[in-house]
Amino acid sequence: MASGTSGDSGGGNPTSNWNFYVPFGEASASSPPPNPPLHHQQQHKTEEHAEATLPEARDTIKATPKGSVETDTYKTSFREKWTTFWSLSVPYFRENGEGRCLFAGLIVLMLLDSGVRVGFSYLARDFWSALGDKDIDAFYRIMKQFLMALLFLAPVNVFYRFQRQRLAIKWRKWMTERILRLYFYNSHQVYYHLERRGTVEKDEDVGIVDNPDQRIAEDVRAFTRYSLTLFLTIAVSLIDLVAFSTILYLIEPKLFLSIIGFATLGTIVTVLLGNQLVRLNFERLQKEADFRFSLVRLRENAESIAFFRGEKTEGREISDRFDRVVNNAYSIIGTMRDLEFFTASYNYLTWILPVVVIAPQYMAGNVELGVVQQAAAAFGHVLDDLSLIINQFESLSEFSASIGRLHQFVRAVQNADPDLDDSAPLLGYPPGYDGHGSGASSVGKDGIFNNANPDTRTSPLSPQESIEKSIQLQELPPSANTMVASTFALAIKNLRLDTPHGQRTLIHSLNLELKWGERLLIIGSSGIGKSSLLRAIAGLWSSGTGTIERANTVDVYFLPQKPYCPLGTLRDQLLYPISTGHSNKLDEDDNDIENWQATKTAVDDQHLLSILKDVDLGDLASRIGQGNELEGLGTTLDWSSTLSLGEQQRLAFARVLVHQPKMVIVDEATSAMDVGAEERMYSLIQSMTVISVGHRPTLLGFHTKRLHLKKTPGKDYCECTVDDILSNPNSVNNEEVNLFFR
């Protein structure tokens, strides 16, 4: 570790251990002087390592699917790594004035710190010379100077470290927020498309993007922290190198030349012995995350696994993953051992080398003892600086792995965003995106929103071809039904719907119109494409051709097949996706959410409680609030595991009543309810425009129109028939009843 950052001021070189220079180094103060040199270095390394190393990610949400292809981002050349590092780190300092100021302050403190250390090397020389000459007056004079210098050194050192850590936190905050915005806060729902690509197929450009949670939480942290450490290490090393090389050259030119040869040899051997570490560290992060993910999955699916008595299978899978972690750890320590055989011997040699070279001059009485000491200390400094790669190799390899993972993730986010092309700068916003949630998606002259096709994002098609080969989703202006009474709430024209990357056509030539207030039921056998059609209407899927025109997103509420309970209180469950309570920096200035919130009537707690009663959950608030309903509304629980599936589905209907959308899309969202509860839920949304998917014949009674998706004989896709249930009330023929009960 270079002196500049091994504790940021202490000389990491072993020679420092037995000279006057050491006690002033902050990290060295805690290390016992008699330690062998490598221990000393390792101690610095461990300390720095604790900061720079990527610690364990918690609560991993998504991991590499079993058997997935491992990526080879770690194989990029040094030049590519450097370019990546540069493009990931520059945007913060370019865009953020505070960051630039903190950085400038840090440089000043760093220079002061280095200056102080050079000054101390002269103090140390005089100290040892005074000791050698048994000059008591000089000894006390130097001690006094030393104590006064200490008054200056301590604050410089403390503020230098503090400033570095403060900048690292601010940078991390900026970078995490930027990535979060690009990941899930513009209108293209990048997180959804990326997740699907990550699990379904390998993106040609970026490979499989495993564990996005770990990349956002850990890799960004490691990147910002370690980048600063590395920059300062290099900067301090350069300053030290110039300063102490001059001292060394002035004392003995031979010493200076021998150190250059010694350090060059050491660096070459280290790189050759340790180059495996970059790959191993890259894999370590992935394997650790996979292992944690299997544990999180076990926790989340504990009940299903217990019913299946699947613990043995799960246990085997978990221990397989853990074995991979352990095997990787063995490979790492094996490589480290080989490397350390060399570095340890190398470091021990540096104890005596400078003294051996200068000793003849001392014995001949040409130089004083203090000069021997100063030569040894300067030798230690210069060697530390020249041996940057040797001493930092393990940390550098981890850093390199984290740059690779972060770069891969940011590129994947970029690829999944149709507004960003390949030449867009890393971490840059799409053109026209203001960073406040108002997406860059094109808004037509008529105010109609055009959704570019995220599924064709990585296809080799030109933008025009991409548009022609994607479904055009057009949104009506908000509250269109009140403005233009005759407008259709949904109009589908000549729709061909494919699975995301065009592997299969699910629906062909669908034409459909739904007026405001009408209720459409979509039926068809399992797997035929009902939910996929809803995904296309929602704008999540857009592979295919044709046009979908529908109510504005702010007027539509979607009830998915699998109820979703966000983290938070019972009140949060009802208001979702409007956030309450906590201040979310990300949506502080989000116009969409603000406008949306402003258009909603104030929802007071009594209103929420009465809605809970409407959906037959009247006792829920008082039950969890131990008799106090208001307390119940503010109670936080793990709702997905506390409420039954039917209760979660009724809670979802309560959300619809809170938000009062003009259109509701219901994807089998009553499947866990009894027929009576289903009837009550549908009666609550009778005044809205409804699109449902369902298998129960009882649903027909709540709808006015029906879309039947039927397998076309000899074709992959289905045939679509639309009819009016009200004009044909006896239309449930035997075939359909069978279909419903299938």
Ligand X SMILES: Nc1ncnc2c1ncn2[C@@H]1O[C@H](COP(=O)(O)OP(=O)(O)OP(=O)(O)O)[C@@H](O)[C@H]1O
Site string for ligand X, 506-525 (x = CB under 6 A): x-----------------x-
Smallest distance, ligand X to C-beta of residue 696, A? 12
Smallest distance, ligand X to C-beta of residue 214, A? 23
Q: Nearest-5° angle of CA 201, CA 523, CA 190?
A: 30
8 A C-beta contact, residue 435 and residue 181: yes
Smallest distance, ligand X to C-beta of residue 697, A? 15
56 CB-near residues (< 8 Å, 6+ apart): 288, 292
Size of the site for ligand X (CB under 6 A): 13
Smallest distance, ligand X to C-beta of residue 516, A? 25
Nearer to ligand X, 524 or 632 (CB): 524
**Regarding beta strands 488-498 and 544-550, do their DSSP bridges make them parallel or antiparallel, or are they unpaired?**
antiparallel
Nearest-angstrom CA–CA distance, 72 and 564? 35
Decide if residue 474 touches ligand X (CB under 6 A): no
Residue 735 burial (10 A CB sphere; 0-12, 13-18, 19+):
exposed
Smallest distance, ligand X to C-beta of residue 461, A? 19
Smallest distance, ligand X to C-beta of residue 209, A? 16
Residue type, 100: R
Site string for ligand X, 193-222 (x = CB under 6 A): ---x---x----------------------
- Which strands, in side-by-side order, build the sheet including 556-559? 449-450, 472-475, 544-550, 488-498, 505-515, 718-724, 705-711, 519-524, 689-693, 663-667, 556-559
Site string for ligand X, 139-178 (x = CB under 6 A): ----------------------------------------
Pick the piece of the chain touching ligand X (CB under 6 A) from 137-145, 527-535, 574-582, 610-618. Answer: 527-535
Decide if residue 526 touches ligand X (CB under 6 A): yes
Nearer to ligand X, 76 or 692 (CB): 692
**Regarding beta strands 488-498 and 505-515, do their DSSP bridges make them parallel or antiparallel, or are they unpaired?**
antiparallel
**Token output for 52:** 């720079």
Q: Which of 527, 581, 701, 729 binds ligand X (CB under 6 A)?
A: 527
Decide if residue 671 touches ligand X (CB under 6 A): no
Site string for ligand X, 687-716 (x = CB under 6 A): ------------------------------
Q: Which of 83, 267, 438, 531 binds ligand X (CB under 6 A)?
A: 531
Closest by CA position to 561, among listed 693, 739, 696, 699: 693
Pick the piece of the chain touching ligand X (CB under 6 A) from 120-128, 346-354, 529-537, 550-558. Answer: 529-537
Nearer to ligand X, 530 or 571 (CB): 530
Nearest-angstrom CA–CA distance, 120 and 115? 9
Decide if residue 65 touches ligand X (CB under 6 A): no
- DSSP reduced 3-state for 31: coil
Nearer to ligand X, 158 or 200 (CB): 200
Decide if residue 505 touches ligand X (CB under 6 A): no
Q: Which of 208, 336, 410, 528 binds ligand X (CB under 6 A)?
A: 528
Smallest distance, ligand X to C-beta of residue 455, A? 10
Q: Which of 4, 529, 563, 568 binds ligand X (CB under 6 A)?
A: 529
8 A C-beta contact, residue 711 and residue 499: no
Nearest-angstrom CA–CA distance, 475 and 470? 16
Q: What is the SS3 assignment for 375-421?
A: HHHHHHHHHHHHCHHHHHHHHHHHHHHHHHHHHHHHHHHHHHCCCCC
Nearest-angstrom CA–CA distance, 116 and 239? 12
List residues near ligand X by CB under 6 A: 196, 200, 499-500, 506, 524, 526-532
